[in-house]
């Protein structure tokens, strides 16, 4: 571990948390963006129910009429934001946190007609709240900045027209990252895989090209598959060797600090990458967690100078430690790669040195628990099947786990076994898979199921 590592990581994490909360103008218990204040699916709330009654926690309110989509809500300053398809329009909406009353809705563009059946009901982006502004990305690649108070559009750009982006097979489903004065997003274009925009004006700050560096199988036992940035891609096809496929996948980026340098870490169609926040320079690249189908959905996880990323479709999860070689730069040294945690799109959570998340793709799967440092499986639910494939978050020493069939589970984290502390079935269940991630904010649990938004009171009395 280099000297800038463990000593500074806790301070950097605290500074990042504080800066995000200040920028968002959010309360500590708000959920102002994708995967919460730190983009790690961890809530800082305390005083929540540690066990649910047999029928589940009480329903505070529910609303119908959202429209179609898997967009999980964001919550800030007493308001709830999300996206949907309503009729022939792709819309952004705002509800009251108190009672679910709709405060406003605005049309972003004509509803994008996705050809693939999975997820075609509507957008998957969770809006990002930053002070008095709101940032969204539509299925067709329209990124927009709106006034949070009334939805007035302040600026709007297009991934395809402005950056040559190619729409991924299942459309754009990224949630924008707002960091300092920049909005970071992934058009996936041949010269603009990742871009940073001025958050106030939408003007381009920098563009970063991520080459496709998928190597031939290594000879012998060569675990280190990471590379510093700047290596050359394969010849043929488009720049980067993609042969015309989009460089964007479906994950959302995170911001990290390493060796006194700010980075953006993203899982693209072909690689896990680190990009300099100042100028978009590609710092490092690690390919193994990206599957060959380019269906990479899970947000990377950063802890103690190490980055974990995972995907399904025969890939798996890899942990790399970021290091500074003698000649400078950044190199990702592989700690392990495991096929025991192939996370599809439900996310992973790190708690007390353990990784929790669903293992499995289209065939289904179940929750597993891995040792973060070694990748060893501590337990899984493959045989019992009490917690099948789903999405996850952590709040007040409990895992909130939503199974794709709609069942909501409360799980006590354990290093040795699966410990369930409650479950319930939601009302007004749609026929679509429950892909919208659960959200915790200000003592409430939010579950979105296409046209319906449910709010449960999970505060301990």
Residue ranges and CATH numbers for the domains of the chain are 6-213+243-457 (2.140.10.10)
Rounded Cα distance between 174 and 91, Å, is 16
Residue 5 pLDDT exceeds 50: no
pLDDT at 24: 45
The answer to whether the beta carbons of residues 30 and 44 sit under 8 Å apart is: no
The mean predicted confidence, pLDDT, of the chain is 90
Give the bridge partners for 441, in sequence order: 444
Residue 211 CA from chain centroid, whole number? 22
pLDDT at 382: 86
Rounded Cα distance between 272 and 295, Å, is 13
For residue range 366-386, what is the model confidence (pLDDT) as tens digits?
Answer: 999 999 999 999 999 988 889
Residue 12 pLDDT exceeds 50: no
Measured from the Cβ of residue 443, the count of other Cβ atoms closer than 10 Å reads 17
pLDDT at 230: 43
Rounded Cα distance between 389 and 418, Å, is 14
Query: Percentage of residues in the chain with pLDDT exceeding 90?
Result: 85
Rounded Cα distance between 312 and 362, Å, is 9
Query: Percentage of residues in the chain with pLDDT exceeding 70?
Result: 87
Using pLDDT thresholds of 50, 70 and 90, give the confidence band for residue 9.
very low
Using pLDDT thresholds of 50, 70 and 90, give the confidence band for residue 213.
low
DSSP E strands, 122-232: 128-130, 133-137, 142-147, 153-158, 177-179, 182-185, 194-198, 204-208, 226-228
pTM over 0.85: yes
Provide mean pLDDT across the span 118-122: 94
Provide mean pLDDT across the span 431-445: 97
Provide mean pLDDT across the span 117-130: 96
Using pLDDT thresholds of 50, 70 and 90, give the confidence band for residue 6.
very low
Provide mean pLDDT across the span 314-323: 98
pLDDT at 383: 82
pLDDT at 385: 83
390-395/377-380 β-pairing:
unpaired
pLDDT at 235: 26
For residue range 229-278, what is the model confidence (pLDDT) as tens digits?
Answer: 543 332 223 333 333 489 999 999 999 999 999 999 999 999 999 999 99
């Amino acid at each position: 571990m280099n000297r800038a590592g463990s000593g500074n990581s806790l301070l950097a994490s605290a500074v990042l948390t504080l800066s995000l909360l200040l920028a968002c103008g959010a309360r500590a218990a708000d959920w102002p963006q994708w995967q919460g204040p730190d983009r790690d699916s961890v809530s800082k709330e305390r005083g929540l129910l540690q066990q649910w009654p047999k029928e589940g926690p009480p329903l505070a309110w529910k609303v119908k009429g959202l429209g179609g989509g898997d967009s999980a809500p964001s919550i800030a300053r007493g308001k709830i934001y999300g996206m949907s398809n309503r009729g022939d329009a792709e819309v952004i909406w705002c509800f009251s946190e108190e009672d679910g009353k709709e405060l406003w809705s605005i049309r972003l563009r004509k509803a994008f007609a996705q050809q693939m059946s999975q997820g075609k009901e509507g957008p998957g982006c969770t809006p990002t709240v930053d002070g008095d502004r709101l940032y969204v990305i539509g299925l067709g690649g329209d990124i927009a900045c709106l006034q949070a108070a009334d939805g007035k559009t302040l600026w709007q750009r297009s991934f395809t027209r402005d950056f040559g982006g190619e729409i991924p097979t299942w459309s754009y489903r990224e949630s924008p990252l707002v960091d300092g004065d920049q909005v970071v997003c992934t058009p996936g274009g041949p010269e603009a895989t990742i871009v940073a925009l001025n958050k106030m004006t939408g003007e381009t700050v920098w563009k970063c090209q991520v080459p496709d560096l998928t190597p031939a199988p290594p000879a012998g036992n060569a675990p280190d598959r990471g590379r510093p940035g700047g290596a050359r891609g394969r010849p043929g096809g488009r720049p980067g060797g993609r042969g015309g496929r989009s460089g964007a996948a479906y994950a959302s980026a995170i911001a990290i600090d390493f060796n006194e340098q700010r980075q953006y870490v993203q899982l693209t169609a072909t690689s896990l990458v680190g990009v300099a926040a100042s100028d978009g320079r590609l710092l490092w690249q690690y390919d193994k967690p990206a599957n060959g189908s380019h269906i990479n959905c899970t947000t990377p996880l950063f802890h103690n100078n190490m980055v974990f990323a995972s995907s399904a479709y025969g890939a798996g999860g890899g942990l790399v430690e970021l290091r500074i070689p003698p000649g400078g730069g950044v190199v990702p040294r592989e700690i392990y790669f495991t096929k025991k945690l192939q996370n599809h799109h439900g996310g992973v959570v790190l708690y007390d040195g353990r990784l929790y998340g669903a293992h499995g793709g289209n065939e289904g799967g179940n929750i597993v628990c891995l040792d973060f440092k070694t990748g060893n499986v501590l337990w899984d639910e493959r045989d019992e099947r009490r917690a099948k494939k789903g999405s996850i978050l952590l709040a007040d020493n409990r895992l909130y786990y939503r199974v794709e069939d709609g069942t909501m589970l409360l799980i006590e984290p354990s290093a040795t076994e699966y410990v369930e502390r409650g479950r319930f079935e939601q009302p007004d269940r749609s026929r679509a898979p429950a892909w919208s991630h659960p959200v915790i904010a200000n003592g409430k649990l939010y579950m979105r199921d296409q046209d319906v938004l449910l709010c449960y009171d999970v505060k301990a009395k």
